[in-house]
Structure 1
Amino acid sequence: MTDRSRPPGVGMVVLRSGGEVLLGHRTKSGETATWCLPGGSLEPGETFADAAVRETVEEAGLTPAGPRAFAVAIDLAAGAVTAGVVAEHAGGTPQVREPHVFERWQWWPLAALPAPLFPASAAVLAVWCGTPVPDGWSAYRITDAS
């Protein structure tokens, strides 16, 4: 059962040539520090891709190219739903635009991701990499209809 009181979330897998992914060091007050994809909540009328691009611009100052949804992950305990969106890095240097949430942005090889990962980011990245999702999560590959 999903939590109907909050909108679905999105996580943006921004890929740079050479197979690196952008992750932010999330240091939000009251939470354990983790590494996190750019992302956030869907707003009314947005597609998953639109929301992921908006969040990436707001959080890291980057506008990725060719976004497409590829997965939906569900936190089975909380009922939270997160869509995975992938896009190419279109240039520019990531900037910390929300210092109350992120300490820094860094590019990481997909084969050597840092720990700990933010739970929804871990689930989305597992689907992208074709590895098992973390315990307590269920995930489904999807095709973007856009």
Structure 2
Amino acid sequence: MTAVVGVGALLFAPDGRILIGRRVKRGESPTWCLPGGHVEPGETFERAAVREIAEETGIAAARVREARVFAVALRTESPDTAVTACVVARAEADVPDGTVAAVVTEPDVFDEWRWVSPEEPPAPLFPATGMLLAAWHGHPAPEGWTVHRVADL
């Protein structure tokens, strides 16, 4: 048995929309997924979220502000111990009209990024993304997850 420590990022644009990508990883059915990934040794949850955002979307770390953990979740129906920190952050706009450009940097994982309403994300959602959005909205955790809120935002 191994332990998997991950992070998912709820990245808000100045207009209140969130960034979500179409995950097309080989061997998986396509789903919609927030930026995120594994926490590397020596990283905080916040630093891991900012790094993953930059790696997956091309949004420079210097343009990601106010990253903070609001919940920690445990995947209870997994053969491994799987912990995911839920991080919320704000993106600074690229240009005066408030646009924040995201690009596909890992085409083997994502084929597009979209800014969407956090109340109306596309479906189907990647399981950790569904859990993170439920936690953000204050809804009960999806089956197979235990969520512990650590901050009210």
Structure-1-length-normalised TM-score: 0.91
Q: What is the aligned length?
A: 141
Q: Distance in 2 between matches of 1:141 and 1:18?
A: 25
Secondary structure in 2 aligned to 1:133? coil
Counterpart in the other structure of 2:43: 46
Pick from 18, 26, 31 the counterpart of residue 28 of structure 2: 31
Counterpart in the other structure of 2:146: 138
Q: Distance in 1 between matches of 2:142 and 2:14?
A: 27
Written as runs of structure 1 = structure 2, the 5 A alignment for 1:1-146 is: 5-62=2-59, 63=61, 64-78=64-78, 79-91=81-93, 92-143=100-151
Aligned amino acid, residue 12 of structure 1: A
Secondary structure in 1 aligned to 2:119? helix
Q: Distance in 2 between matches of 1:13 and 1:104?
A: 16
Aligned amino acid, residue 52 of structure 2: E
Counterpart in the other structure of 2:96: none
Q: Which one has the largest radius of gyration?
A: 2
* C-alpha deviation, 1:42, in angstroms: 0.4
Q: Distance in 1 between matches of 2:29 and 2:124?
A: 9
Secondary structure in 2 aligned to 1:110? coil
RMSD: 1.5
Q: Distance in 2 between matches of 1:94 and 1:42?
A: 22
Uncovered stretches (5+) of structure 1, i.e. residues with no partner = none
